[in-house]
Amino acid sequence: MHRIPFTFVKLTSQIINSQLAPYHCANNIFIGYSGGVDSHVLLHLLADIPELKHKLIAVYVHHGLQASADDWEIHCQLVAEDLGVNFKCLKVNAQALPGESPEEAARNARYQAFKQILKANDVLVFAQHRNDQLETVLLQLFRGAGLKGLSGMPGSIAFGAGVLLRPLLDITQEAIKQYAQEQALHWIEDPSNQDRQFDRNYLRHDIIPLLEQRWPRLDKTVARVAGHCADAHAILSVSAKQNMHLLYDNQNHSLSIPGLLKHDYVTQQWILREWLHHLGARMPSQKVMAAIMQDILLARPGANPVVDHNGMTIQRYREGLYLVAVQIKPDLNQVFTWVANTELLLLSGNGQLLAKEAEKGIAQYIWQQADIQVKYRQGGEAISLPNRAGRHSLKKLYQEAGVPPWQRDLIPLIYLDGKLAVIANLFISADFFVAKTSCITPVWQQAIDGKFAYH
């Protein structure tokens, strides 16, 4: 996105239009509209751009945390209607989870709601400005953040299926308020913005004014530092991403531990962060990173240390590093009956099985006539395999196939007329396996985050 020079800028719709010039072909332009002065000014400016106005949708996120939230929604809707802009209200659950601050909970709920409405070729616009950037960078500094945190908020970034833009990021709040006063705008003053128990408010009202008395150009200086950090982070990330993909197993999403250990200590951490980012996980704290580096990467052969990370676990199996979703195991004593002429069988808490037509597998006429049941491993199961002598325990086969221990109990076992016929997605018993044009091969799709994914 084009950067505005660090001078006092008198806000006009032309300035905003130039910031959004690359996105004029967007399908929809959503603007996060709280009713406060910043978002009100940005909405007013956008509504004054004829080629964009018909694409605008003002979005008020109703957190349910303030008694006046319903009144604020009505205010925002009336303002949008007065400007001739479409309006949408998103109601979210912003209650903080254990270990989550109220600010973080509200932000996470808000961002998740926005991600859900964005489609391909949609743009989301936020009204954060240079003073917000100053607060963000200082907060990250006080929290001991690395380069990414000290880079502050980017002017543009991929967001959900669309793009998030911050066209006011180089504009001071002074310029924003001057515009609001000149246009006689009426905005909401959120009383929670005065509550010093929130870190950002304490910094805004008590700390930054003192700093600016000594360093009047602090916002410009910190924004420049954030830009330097962003540039350095981008360069290092490119290198780390390239190294990460050389060590990454696309099939099971694991990372090669021997390959990782060939790099120096600092590079290992960059690669690990890129791996977690690639998998959509939260960046690890220093404590978590140290545990990965020491307890997992340097563990003795055969050990299976576990590090908890943001509702997931990081584990090693053989020479691979895995990110494992923590999930409640289904009842492993369940027995499912699969009607032969039904293509789909839902497994409570464990995805679904599909009967796929194939050129090899189980003959269709045998499948159609059999009593089909699906169970989980109880211990002691064995199966004979095509072109291999004898019968083989599931434990041995799972080891040979490299199935991580945490996945083994979840694999559905399919019985035909009381005999173990299929270990889903892995093996078909020699007693049933044929290679011909009219066969059935069962496929297990495991449930992950509410969606079905091939295991």
Over residues 385-417, the pLDDT tens digits come to 998 999 999 999 998 988 888 889 999 999 999
The pTM of this model reads 0.73
Q: What is the pLDDT of residue 28?
A: 96
Round to whole Å and give the CA distance between 75 and 179. Answer: 20
Q: Over the range 430-439, which residues count as b (16 or more CB within 10 Å of their CB) and which as e?
A: eebbeeeeeb
pLDDT digits (tens, 9 = 90+) for 216-239: 999 999 999 999 999 999 999 999
Architecture of domain 228-325: Up-down Bundle (1.20)
Q: DSSP code of 282? A: P
Round to whole Å and give the CA distance between 33 and 22. Answer: 22
What is 13-214's CATH topology? Rossmann fold (3.40.50)
Round to whole Å and give the CA distance between 140 and 153. Answer: 11
Residue 184 near residue 41 (C-beta atoms within 8 A)? no
Round to whole Å and give the CA distance between 315 and 292. Answer: 9
**Strand locations in 73-194, DSSP E?**
86-91, 122-125, 156-159, 162-165
pLDDT digits (tens, 9 = 90+) for 264-302: 999 999 999 999 999 988 889 889 999 999 999 998 877
Round to whole Å and give the CA distance between 87 and 362. Answer: 56
C-alpha distances (whole Å) from 262 to each of 25, 103, 105, 249, 288 are 46, 40, 39, 17, 21
The CATH 3.40.50.620 portion of the chain extends over 13-214
Round to whole Å and give the CA distance between 188 and 141. Answer: 30
Tell me how far apart the terminal alpha carbons of the chain are, to the nearest angstrom: 40
The CATH 1.20.59.20 portion of the chain extends over 228-325
Residue 73 near residue 87 (C-beta atoms within 8 A)? no
In this model, does residue 451 exceed pLDDT 50? no
pLDDT digits (tens, 9 = 90+) for 99-132: 677 778 888 889 999 999 999 999 999 999 999 9
